[in-house]
Amino acid sequence: MRVLVTGGAGYVGSFVVRHLLERNHDVRVLDDLSTGRAEAVPDIAPDIVNIRHAQDVAAVVRSFAPEAIIHLAGLKSSAESVQRPDLYYDVNVTGTSALLRAAKRHGVERFVFSSSCAVYGSPQVCPVDEHAPTEPQSPYGETKLACERMLQWHARVTGMRWAALRYFNVAGAAADGSLGEFTGPHTVQLVPLAIKAARSGVPLKIYGGDYPTFDGTAVRDYLHVVDLAEAHVRLIEGLETPELSGVYNLGTGRPASVLEIVKMIEQVSGCPVPYHLAPRRNGDPAFSWADSEHARRTFDWVPQRKLDEIVRSAWLWHSSGRSGEA
Ligand SMILES: NC(=O)c1ccc[n+]([C@@H]2O[C@H](COP(=O)([O-])OP(=O)(O)OC[C@H]3O[C@@H](n4cnc5c(N)ncnc54)[C@H](O)[C@@H]3O)[C@@H](O)[C@H]2O)c1
């Protein structure tokens, strides 16, 4: 299949591209390289295009004529989105709108969108299934929900098959340390930040030590990036069947606290992770982990990799000297 991957030079996107190539798909990458890196997709020269620029987006779609689009390009920090809601709406919503318009004009048949568990806000009940109320608590979560709805309306009109994947917390790297998350000032994820603390000795800031959890720190669902990439490819291939269209939660269903992650990094690396506790951040839930039963039942996706593989692979990658700051 010809598959256009927006944001394909980013963390999740580069794993999706790698897996698509392993499955012999014809892949093109659209990315403005704002956080992504060309070296993350060494076999492909990305089209360096801002997703907000409708004419440039349309030109890529016209020239490549993809049968499927996997749309990952966007901004992803809830905390930053509270400071810069205009930017988040512009990149995430306007960008998705430009892409959908081009998809419609050129008859793209399948579309997979990177959504987020941020659409649920603070879940009342865990594990969270797809029927849980959506109550985003940041502009970031709002933009993801707006894009999901735009996608559903668009699909009704065009007949395009679609999936919105609500990822929980993505982490980890290739098992051989050959690919992972490039870090820099934009890095917001716990695992690379905690590894950075272990390697640099500069304490990790843990937001909230007084949550009603067993150790007082926030509890999340960490999903290996390779398992996540496999879900995208499985869906793109399976969307032959219209019944696969829909919203899917993607997580492991195995919760872990911030301090558990810290301890596991210490075990794997043999280095202490210095940290200090800071006040909770507005909008950060105490608990969030996924019920991914719908994905298992519908397209037979079950994440294979455990937390220790996430931490081991991430440590290997960040120790390779190729990941940036951490
Ligand atoms: N990493 C996670 O834990 C997580 C969780 C839930 C959802 N997501 C979503 O998954 C997607 C990918 O996340 P990621 O972790 O790989 O982030 P990332 O920052 O590594 O990747 C995003 C990619 O989009 C590109 N991009 C950003 N703005 C762009 C623009 N205006 N035009 C074109 N390209 C642009 C970046 O250069 C980058 O390559 C995002 O949409 C994010 O919201 C990620």
Question: Are both 132 and 261 inside the same structural domain?
Answer: no
Going by pLDDT thresholds of 50, 70 and 90, the confidence category of residue 8 is very high
Question: Are both 33 and 150 inside the same structural domain?
Answer: yes
Domain count, the chain: 2
Q: Which two tokens stand for residue 193?
A: 């930040």
C-alpha of residue 285 to centroid of ligand 1, in Å: 22
Task: Tell me how far apart the alpha carbons of residues 147 and 10 are, in angstroms, rounded to a whole number.
Answer: 19
Residue 120, CB-side half-sphere exposure with 13 Å CA sphere: 27
Structural domain harbouring 212? 174-220+253-288+305-319
Q: Is 11 helix (H, G, I), strand (E, B) or coil?
A: helix
Question: Are both 106 and 28 inside the same structural domain?
Answer: yes
293 within a domain of the structure (yes/no): no
User: Rounded to the nearest 5°, which phi and psi values hold at 168?
Assistant: -90, -140
Q: Which two tokens stand for residue 249?
A: 């939660």
Question: Are both 127 and 235 inside the same structural domain?
Answer: yes
Look up the CATH number of the domain holding residue 244.
3.40.50.720
Give pLDDT, residue 325.
64
CA dihedral 239, 240, 246, 250 (to 10 degrees): -30
Question: Are both 179 and 104 inside the same structural domain?
Answer: no
Span 114-131, pLDDT tens digits: 999 999 999 999 999 999
Question: Are both 179 and 233 inside the same structural domain?
Answer: no
Going by pLDDT thresholds of 50, 70 and 90, the confidence category of residue 70 is very high
**From the CB of 33, is ligand 1 less than 6 Å away?**
yes
Roughly what angle, to the nearest 10 degrees, separates helices 190-200 and 307-319?
50
Percent over 90 (pLDDT), the chain:
92
**From the CB of 73, is ligand 1 less than 6 Å away?**
yes
Span 152-165, pLDDT tens digits: 999 999 999 999 99
> What sections of 190-269 are H helices per DSSP?
190-200, 225-238, 258-269
| Residue 188 clears pLDDT 70, i.e. is over it | yes
Q: Which ligand 1 atom minimizes the distance to the CA of 36?
A: 39
Going by pLDDT thresholds of 50, 70 and 90, the confidence category of residue 229 is very high
Task: Tell me how far apart the alpha carbons of residues 167 and 66 are, in angstroms, rounded to a whole number.
Answer: 24
